[in-house]
Amino acid sequence: MAQDDMLRRRDVLPIGTVINLTTLTARQIRYYEEQGLVKPSRNAGNHRMYSLNDVDSLIRVMNDRKAGMSLADIKRVRAKRAQRTSDSAARRMLQDELLHQSPFGQTDDGTFRRGF
């Protein structure tokens, strides 16, 4: 699962491929980038390189726009979703940290320690 996420975040797609996958124009894609809805990286030749997550994000923007949402609405929804995700991620990290620091935490073999 973590490896899948890592692969989806890899910036390997040039803008031409993204245009073919999304049916957006280069100008639309650059505009959404200016609005902070996608953040492609740049390769050594200074060309934009997109990830599969960027493509998914652009498709969601397209669908939201077709449904009548404004860019301000889309940004607001994304901000709320990011906040929820970061809260739940923080809870998971805290839980993992507590389990690993506690004398009653889980050991490598899946059993629980019983004390000091």
3-state DSSP of 44-55: CCCCEEECHHHH
pLDDT at 114 over 70: no
More confident residue, 45 or 84: 45
Q: Which helix (H) or strand (E) holds 5?
A: helix 2-8
pTM for this entry: 0.67
Q: What 3-state DSSP class applies to 83? A: helix
Break the chain into its structural domains and give their ranges. Answer: 1-69, 70-106
> What pLDDT score does 1 carry?
61
Question: Tell me, what's the pLDDT at 116?
Answer: 46
Q: Which residues of 43-58 are buried (b: 16+ CB within 10 A; e: fewer)?
A: eeeeebbbbbbbbebb
In CATH, the number for domain 1-69 is: 1.10.1660.10
14-30 pLDDT per residue, tens: 999 999 999 999 999 99
94 pLDDT band (50/70/90 cuts)?
confident
